[in-house]
Amino acid sequence: MIRSHQEIANSEIDEEQLNSDQTNDDNDPKVQPKSKKIIRVDIRSSDGTSYHSLGCKCKDEKDYGKAFEWFTKGAEQGCAESTYKIGYFYANGLEVDTDYSKAMEWYLKAAEMGFTKPIVQIGYLYFFGKGVEQDYVEALKWFLKAVEKGSAEAYVSMGNLYSKGTGVERDLSKAMEWYLKAAENGCSTAQFNIGRSYYFGFGVERNYSKAVEWYLKAAENGNTSAQFKVGFLFETGKGIEKNFKKEVFWKSKYFNTDNFTFIEDPYDQFAIQNFTPAGLCDEKEIEEDSIMEEVIIRFEERDFTIVHKYLKSCKYLTTMMNSNWKDFNLKEQNCIVLDLRSVQNQIFQTQENTNHIQIFENYVEYLTNNAIPNDFDMKLKLIELSKYLQDDSCILKIVNQSSILMRLYFLFKFENIEPVHLAIASCFVMGDLFTTMNDLSPNSIETLLNEIELSPMGKKKILDVLVNNKFPNSVIFSK
């Protein structure tokens, strides 16, 4: 779910908490991927816990009908958690019509059994007036009951009540005290609210550095609102030094919450980086009297004549020049000949319908005039050639002129792509920074949509580009 800046800035108690099945958002499945577990239970158990385990398994598999049946059996056996789950199903309209009155009925039963979660939910029902008449005082009473049981979610709720002045006199300092108690229990929502308090000066003196400290704790703890805020702070430099790679890293986490795996330093990959060739042969290392010497490169049945100095970026050809490889480095009429014919079939991964001579002509054009072809497929082949010849400069030239998604496509074609690239691409296709994708071919767009797990919003953006560029109707997408 994509959140607006305003929604993030005004994070307080909301109705999503009312329908929550978690004690806090640290356990939100959108934040922490659930691992599949094999559940072995003995349904002969008399306490109903086995029925509850079966219900949870079915719920995780989204078989809500079966889950409701198992939870009902568990409740009949006196299982407090199963009793609570029935209330949760009524509150969220899972397999049954949404009915807050019935949800309250089941929550009360579970609370009487001493279970903490329904106590907090009863407080929410009174707070929002769902299934009962809205009553802030009664909500406060139930939140305090949950506080006595050490519920971190109740601590946050108390902080929110004092922050808004609902049911109690508004007191931002007391709100901060409650948030700190919840944060001590590892509650990311509380950590986010503490960061927010320092950022805006709510109940404490404004302190951007402390705001960053608490936002970062919440972000690392899986709070998606905090992840966006941290990205924003790295962008603006408030309370912390500006850092583009960390801005992208945290915004990517925010925009992509569906089981993406991230590496720690995405800037090391070329999905977003602005590149400069590194580790290339310095022209000063070449003897002055040889830099203008002409070299013949023999490829298939063509001879390409090129001045020595233009080969400095190509490690493969430079190595050939500095060695006496038999059948590679020859002398003809006092001119060095680099013969590639014995390896030309190893260069290209795909041999069918490939004009190798045209590709090599494009490479020579790059070496002599720093020019890159406009044709998408030819760029792919030029990268393939440059990879074999170890010419990083040519690859980076193409990458620098390419959109974020074209870079992603290159990675998909030539490397074992890391999920972070998908996340970064999805992040940028949703923002203003990503303004063009018209350098992509229909086939590459089809690949991105069908074979790479971009976020839904990212895929929608690609489809928009497809429409805007009026690609042929023959392009069919399965997703």
Q: Please list the pLDDT of the chain residue by residue as tens digits (479 residues).
A: 333 333 333 344 455 455 555 444 333 333 333 333 444 444 444 567 888 889 889 888 889 899 999 999 999 998 999 999 999 999 999 989 999 999 999 999 999 998 999 999 999 999 999 999 999 889 999 999 999 998 989 999 999 999 988 888 999 999 999 999 999 989 999 999 999 999 999 999 999 999 999 999 999 998 989 988 998 898 889 899 988 777 777 877 776 655 555 544 444 444 444 444 444 334 444 444 455 678 888 888 888 888 888 887 788 887 777 655 444 455 666 678 888 887 777 776 555 667 888 888 999 999 888 898 888 888 888 888 888 888 878 887 887 777 766 777 776 676 544 444 555 555 555 444 444 556 777 777 777 777 666 666 667 766 776 666 655 544 444 44
Coil, strand or helix: which one is 336?
Answer: strand
Q: What pLDDT is attached to residue 438?
A: 64
Q: What pLDDT is attached to residue 266?
A: 43
Q: What pLDDT is attached to residue 395?
A: 80
DSSP string, 394-438: HHHHHHHTS-HHHHHHHHHHHS---HHHHHHHHHHHTSTT----T
CA–chain centroid gap for 323, Å, is: 47
- Of 184, 160, 180, nearest to 172 by C-alpha is 160
Tell me the C-alpha distance between 7 and 366, whole Å.
50
Q: What pLDDT is attached to residue 143?
A: 93
Q: What pLDDT is attached to residue 142?
A: 94
Tell me the C-alpha distance between 31 and 43, whole Å.
32
Coil, strand or helix: which one is 295?
Answer: strand
The dihedral built from the CA positions of residue 371, 375, 381 and 387, taken in this order, carries a sign that is: positive
Strands 329-332 and 335-339: antiparallel
CA distances from 295 to 207, 330, 332, 337, 345 (A): 64, 10, 10, 6, 22
- 329-344 burial string, b = 16+ CB within 10 Å, else e? beeeeeebbbbbeeeb
Token pair of 1, please? 């779910």
Query: What is the Cα gyration radius of the chain?
Result: 31
Q: What pLDDT is attached to residue 178?
A: 94
Q: What pLDDT is attached to residue 256?
A: 63
Q: What pLDDT is attached to residue 331?
A: 60
The residue written with tokens 């108390």 in the block is 158
Domain layout of the chain by residue ranges: 284-382, 395-468
Contact predicate 100/131, CB 8 Å: yes
Q: What pLDDT is attached to residue 322?
A: 67
Token pair of 186, please? 């590892």
CA distances from 89 to 93, 99, 112, 122 (A): 6, 9, 19, 14
Q: Which CATH number fits domain 284-382: 3.90.550, 3.30.420, 1.10.3210, 3.30.710?
A: 3.30.710
First CA to last CA across the chain, in angstroms? 19
CA distances from 23 to 94, 132, 187, 272 (A): 19, 22, 9, 38
Tell me the C-alpha distance between 425 and 434, whole Å.
9
Q: What pLDDT is attached to residue 79?
A: 92
